[in-house]
A and B are shown apart, each in its own frame.
Chain A
Amino acid sequence: MVIGLIWLFALLWPLLSIHPDGTLSFFKAFKVWSYVASAVVICVFIYILKKSGSLSGIATPVAKTRDRLAAYAGTLPTWVWLVVVGCFALSYPFYTDRYSQDVAIMVLIYICLGLGLNVVIGLAGMLDLGYIAFYGVGAYTYAILNTQLGLSFWMCLPIAALFAAIAGCIIGYPTLRMRGDYLAIVTLAFGEIVRLILNNWMSLTNGPNGILGIKAPAIWIPTFAGGFSFEYFYLKKLYYLYYVALALAIFTVIAVYRLNFSRIGRAWESIREDETVAELMGVNTFLLKLLAYAMGAVFAGLAGAFFAARMRFVAPESFSFLESAMVLCMVVLGGMASIPGIILGVAALIIFQEAFRELELYRMLVVGLCMVLMMLFRPAGLIPAKRMGTRSEEKEN
């Protein structure tokens, strides 16, 4: 592995900068690769130290304190922690600035997306590489209905979810007879088709220019100035939008949690583990797979409609394959089928991207590297999923 790394970087050196006149310059390439190489060397060095036990002097007390804290935390009932987290989430805008609220909204949107994708990948075990298409469908549904027909955000939210679900069924119906890798490539192809249609259907989507002038969500609020009446109030402030996003994210978390432990969720898990056996046990695999697909799409549609309302602008390049890959990455990084894991994975990736904004150019490089390193050292994700019930192999231990 270490030899492989040295080999890889030795091979990357020759990709030098070249000037049009044919002269070579070494400096720029050398700088970039040396940054990367030193970062990797430090990571690997720490890992080797940990493996050999040189770090146990520090690691053991840390682990002990963590265990003690966890045991202490376990004595309090779960609802106490939920209240603490809830209070933190609700009071968040009061002591943070605009920028961190913006980041928080992005995190919440991606939590919806990640949990929706989790239904498809984590629960039903179907690899979906075109997931972002449903996000795009949701966003464009709201954008078009709002700018052309003047429908409000709250009206459009269920419509966007419905449209996304219909799109999910349209895509799912022909593809779900396939299994494994064929499903992956077909969903990838569908994702690209949706993006290309958004990009080229000038009369409806305004092509690559995108749709401008989408209205923010509005609510009726009671006013008491000059008698009791209702006022139509646009939630333009980021502050209000944060709460809308929070509500959506909480809705998604609860819905996915309930699905996870329902009859349907168990049926999905059985399909994931072995489709043939599931079918033998009387699970209607086709219908349930279609349902998983549509459910995943619903959450993406909701997130998409909110995204359009928050940005007040949509353009096709927001829905490229790279976004699908990012969401997939968040799910896998956090731990498939594990709700807290995915939330952590989303927060980690988004905050990580924001924290390295100064190093704009190096950001994606580091994200790619992190994905590889995570898979090498912790493939089950940050917080691996807890399985329902007990299993024979676990009982034996």
Chain B
Amino acid sequence: MEYFIQQLINGLTLGGLYALIALGYTMVYGVIQLINFAHGEFFAAGGYMGVILLSYLAGIGFMDSHPWMCLGLALVLTMTYCAFLAMAVERVAYKPLRHQSRLAALVSALGMSIFLSNGLMLTQGVFDKPYPLQFAEGGFSYGLITVNVLQILIVALTAILLVGLNILVFKTRIGMAMRATAQDKIMSSLVAISANRIIALTFALGAGLAAAAGIMVGLYYGSVRYDMGFVPGIKAFAAAVLGGIGNITGAMLGGLVIGLVEVFGAGYISGQYKDVFAFIILIAVLYFKPTGIMGENVDDTRI
């Protein structure tokens, strides 16, 4: 039982991270029907930016006096940075292709992903970069169950960001414009919503969330690597599809499901095949309910 609860906590932590990344996929897909392969790279860039900022702050000695303030500062700066990076990538690699075939945009996205991850490798080196500060100290335990501060931090931050995003999308005028653009670009542009601006905003929001997940992963595992964006990227995309792509609540749910399945599969069945479980669940769900858990209708004239 204690083992079960421990795994549940680990699974929720991981699932929250996947949910943060999955949101970027699902929002971009909802608005322009593109699988943004470079999204995992925004996540990795966020992890690296976090390392750089935290190391710099530690270097000037600010870290020792105000550790939490430093973390907050790094988080905000990194999210802003990645948001702008995503907007730039969208401008260069996707916007000119909006009226081409969807495969062209997809290949462009793949190319951008390879470009960014190799750019990271060249500038940052091929080895793991350690995070300078361990926030993981402390925490509490009950019997065999231990929860460290970092896990609480991740779950709390994820919850805050998800609630914030929900408010933004469902309660504000900008969110309404986003939803309108996702439904019908031509109609929404007739009522004076700039589709270009909304699409850029969608990319920025998604990348910001992914960047937050990047820092969290860096802190949680203690290091970042240039190719860290790839596998979590695929799993997060699987989470987005699982929840019904284009559906924000679905992506959150899908992320949690993928995280839990992965942790329980690794804990109870086999650690070696932990990546397989997530994919098998994905295939099974899609087989029996092809639109995903909370899926809406999917336009079927697509490659």
Contacts and interface: CB of A to CB of B under 8 A. Distances in A.
Interface in A185-233: 185-186, 188-190, 192-193, 196-197, 200
Given A180-B303, A185-B282, A372 B132 contact: no
Interface string A151-184: 0000000000000000000000011011111101
Nearest to B240: A185
A239 interface: no
Give the secondary structure class of B's interface. Answer: helix
B251 to A, nearest CB: 13
Interface string A295-334: 0000000000000000000000000011001001100100
Contacts of A24: 52, 56
Interface stretch (A88-96, A244-252, A262-270, A362-370): A362-370
A179 B302 contact: yes
Interface string B262-301: 0000000000110110011011001100100000001111
Nearest to A333: B107
Given A15-B124, A36-B119, A4 B114 contact: no
Interface residues on A, range: 35 or more
Nearest to B301: A274
Contacts of B92: 1, 4-5, 8, 372
Contact of A329 (B85, B110, B299, B302): B110
Given A189-B282, A367-B114, A18 B93 contact: no
Nearest to A199: B272
A7 interface: yes
A126 B303 contact: yes
Interface in B42-61: 45, 48-49, 51-52, 55-60
Q: Which of B97, B283, B301 has the most CB of A within 10 A?
A: B283
A4 B91 contact: yes
Contacts of B108: 371-372, 375-376
Interface of A: 1, 3-5, 7-8, 11-12, 14-24, 28-29, 32-33, 36, 121, 125-127, 174-175, 177-182, 184-186, 188-190, 192-193, 196-197, 200, 272, 274-275, 321-322, 325, 328-329, 332, 336, 361-362, 364-365, 367-372, 374-376, 379
Given A189-B282, A272-B303, A368-B115, 9 more contacts: A15-B52, A17-B124, A22-B132, A179-B302, A182-B286, A328-B110, A332-B104, A364-B118, A368-B113
